[in-house]
Amino acid sequence: MSQSAFETSNTVKINNHLGQLTLDEKISMLAGANTWETFPIDRLGIPSLKVTDGPNGARGEAFYDGTTAACFPACVSIAATFNRELAWQIGQALGEEAQTKGAYVLLGPTVCSHRSPLGGRNFEAFSEDPALSGILAAEYVKGLQSERVGATIKHFLGNEQDTRRFSVNETISERALREIYLRPFEIVVKTAKPWCLMTSYPKINGEHVDTSKEFLNDILRAQWGFDGLVMSDWGATTSTVDSIDAGLDLEMPGKTRWRAVKTVKKALEAGVLHESVIDDRARAVLQLLERTGKFSDRKEAVGEKAVNSPKHRKLIREAGAEGIVLLKNSNGVLPIDSAKCQKIALLGPLAKVAGAHGGGSASLNCHYKISPYEALNAELGDSVDLTYSKGTHIFRVYPDLQEGTIGLTGNPGYTAEYWKNEEFRGDPFCTQEFARGYFTTLMDAAVDGKKAVRFTTNFSPKKSGNHYLSYSTLGPSKLYINGALYREQIHPSKDSMSFLLGVQEEMRFQFLFDAGKSYAFQIDTLAPAEPNGELYLLDGQISAHLGFIEQEEMEADLLAEAVSLAQDADYAILFVGNDSQWETEGQDMDDMNLPADGSQNRLISAVAKVNSNTIVVNVTGVAVTTPWLSEVPALVQVWYAGQETGNSILDVLLGKVNPSGKLPISWPRRYEDTAVYGHFGMDSYDSRQVEYVEGVFVGYRHFDKQYGTDKEVLFPFGYGLSYTDFEISSPAVSGTIRNRLHDSALVTAQVGNIGAIAGAEVVQAYILPPRSGSAEHPIKGLVGFSKVFIQPGEKKSISIPITRDHAAYWDISTKKWVVDKGVYKIWLATSASVADKKCEIEIEVTEAFAFDP
């Protein structure tokens, strides 16, 4: 059967289902049945469809402690590979992973642009550059949907900051929208045809996206040809009539807030909605069911399974290593020749922590996580003396009290008992067990109607001491120890979202424990009486946290210990950065500094003073300040590399993998040097207004104008070192830029490996328009790239197409894309810096032209 005949057959099936639905049933399908599933129509055998977070792993239905899953590198790490094929492979593997959770739609990838290095969720998205984001996201989508698992590109639109994201209004120029923020979505829609798209929370120029006909109908569907389903982010639907009419097909999650059958029918009776629009929205849901096989071989619901695939483990390790960026390598200190060293000091707060993922929707319960210490100890422990010191604490919230706890049932952990009254009268209506000192009622239908929770455990410490405790609850609460009231939280938490993500403020105190004794902990907590956040889904929820650190661990002189070990080692490797408490959905960062309170910077400087072979391995999803850079010979940027992160780091440090990652972001020296300084995140916290003052000058487009000044970028976009050397030669161009949809010029070149070992180079093509560098136009923009793996002494050809889209800018007066007449320069480079330009060629456009979006 031809593709057109297949599509016609599916359309007939979908219309047949639609014709059998009653009006009430069609309306019911326009909102989720619950947190993760669409609404089924049992009468007609129309099943529900399950979706799952997220962009770097299929978590399943439990937000915490659910069925284990594979954790892949974050999208920023994928972007750093500049590898289309690898992005496809990761997408395909995620399609397989989603099926192990009984889900046939994955809520990813995230393709919003990195506007600021303070973005709490930057790690979850690809890049500051719309071309790089769009090209790699498109491959991810193609791979994912090859498994008949729908991709959900998100968050459409303007989800670049998490501060006040539920209420912020963002003022963005039409040109910046078209050239920067819409562009990655446009590339993915036109080249990969994703089955789903998710709308965002913020207002764009005064209007929510879910109610915008301009974004959902005119641009997305009419101009770009999107034919999939549009769903809301969880709780991001803002109206009944306007969202349905504008093109939002599915309100998530259920139960519905806006699309109750009675409410929608009243709108139909009043004439402000038409049944044909209801049909369009329901048709989109039915089409998604058809595309994902829910009307055929996937009709029955499938339970969640933990499938620890060797193939996926191998892919994650390789992808994590390929995304690592070598930023500095003075005197060839890397790779480490382990045969020539006797002692290596493994130092820093992330040496024994696997930075697999950031916080929020991208977090999951990994099958396992390999820390750098574990990986290096397994590889070198028998031949090299490995020493360890944490060096400093970077706790934002104390670790959960877990070891040594026993719940009311006698099982390890905690017991939570639920009441439907605030006085704890009568018997609890539900009892649950939790493994650690944290629980939440969010997304738990089993405890609907809860008003109060009693969270209890019996704790037996291993050591005596005046140990450190922390305690916090979402609503008012009392903490009892051995039956006596010990602390009370009178007021609700200030921000329910921060509590959900584990970054809340807490009471901290010490308590004298005797080893071997048992201590009864009890937290009685109520649901907040009033909303204490901006997301209605969190209203009335109940959560509690109990944290613990032993006195000896907290009060140890970790800095002195680390310096002593470094002084006696051949190499000192410092593992520093953020963890999922510091870099997370829901909160942007306060500054570009490593947490906490300068302690990691002090640690690096102190170690560098006593060891000339100090290697800094930074685990973040963003650029950070590096006041110690001149003091260390090597800096390695790891990102969040997935569950194999320790092995990926090992492969690069020991030279098993020649680093080939390139920065998908610009790395500023200071936050004050960025284009958004004063207009991002906390800067606009109180006003709930943020202006995108930089326009189209985002990332390297801004830093290009700072070249040669004290605001020049520290490491440019596209930058990354290798253990070998390359040359780019023989540039040529065939064809020219024409006003034809699929026509292109083709730039070619030769890339040679002139070093001693095999490696990979990324050739980046940038276009410089005739009016380059004017007040309105950036100096250049990335149009494409080619990554080649080359043996020593070998040469390979690369080719990069250049189309009218790459040369065009948005003209707000005509509402068209415009290509100016003149000579366009094409740089072939290994970063966005003029210092890394390797070749330059020219393309002439003899006549200006314009074309419709």
State both tokens at 818: 């415009």
Query: How would you class 691 by CB atoms within 10 Å of its CB: exposed for 0-12, middle for 13-18, buried for 19 or more?
Result: middle
Task: Enumerate residues 6+ apart whose C-beta is below 8 A from 459.
Answer: 401, 404, 405, 406, 518, 519, 520, 521
Query: Residues 462-485, buried b or exposed e (16+ Cβ, 10 A)?
Result: eeebebbbbbbbbbbbbbbeeeee
Query: Scanning the structure block, which residue is given the tokens 């494409």?
Result: 784
* Terminal CA-CA length for the chain: 33
Query: Residues 817-828, buried b or exposed e (16+ Cβ, 10 A)?
Result: bebbeeebbbbb
State both tokens at 426: 């009568």
Q: Which helix (H) or strand (E) holds 170?
A: strand 169-171
Whole-angstrom Cα distance, residue 282 to residue 300? 21
Pairing of strands 465-473, 414-419: unpaired
At 747 the three-state DSSP class reads strand
Phi, psi for 424 (deg, rounded to 5) = 60, 35
**Residue 385 annotated to the active site:** no
Whole-angstrom Cα distance, residue 801 to residue 192? 18
Task: Enumerate residues 6+ apart whose C-beta is below 8 A from 600.
Answer: 348, 349, 391, 392, 394, 576, 577, 594
Is 762 in contact with 662 (CB distance < 8 Å)?
yes
Whole-angstrom Cα distance, residue 139 to residue 83? 9
Query: Scanning the structure block, which residue is given the tokens 């004063």?
Result: 678
Query: Scanning the structure block, which residue is given the tokens 């490696």?
Result: 759
Selecting among 233, 242, 245, 673, the annotated active-site residue is 233
State both tokens at 692: 């995108």
Whole-angstrom Cα distance, residue 138 to residue 84? 9
Cα 235 to Cα 505, 633, 692, 720, 768: the distances in Å are: 24, 48, 25, 40, 42
Look at residues 287, 229, 247 and name the one whose alpha carbon lies nearest to residue 7.
287
Q: Count CA atoms closer than 13 A to 822's CA, side-chain side.
A: 14
Pairing of strands 809-811, 816-819: antiparallel
Task: Enumerate residues 6+ apart whose C-beta is below 8 A from 245.
Answer: 213, 273, 277
Query: Scanning the structure block, which residue is given the tokens 């069609």?
Result: 26
State both tokens at 629: 């850079």
Task: Enumerate residues 6+ apart whose C-beta is below 8 A from 597.
Answer: none
Look at residues 663, 596, 75, 668 and name the one whose alpha carbon lies nearest to residue 350.
596
Query: How would you class 663 by CB atoms within 10 Å of its CB: exposed for 0-12, middle for 13-18, buried for 19 or more?
Result: buried
The count of residues in the chain is 853
Whole-angstrom Cα distance, residue 248 to residue 231? 6
Residues catalogued as catalytic: 233
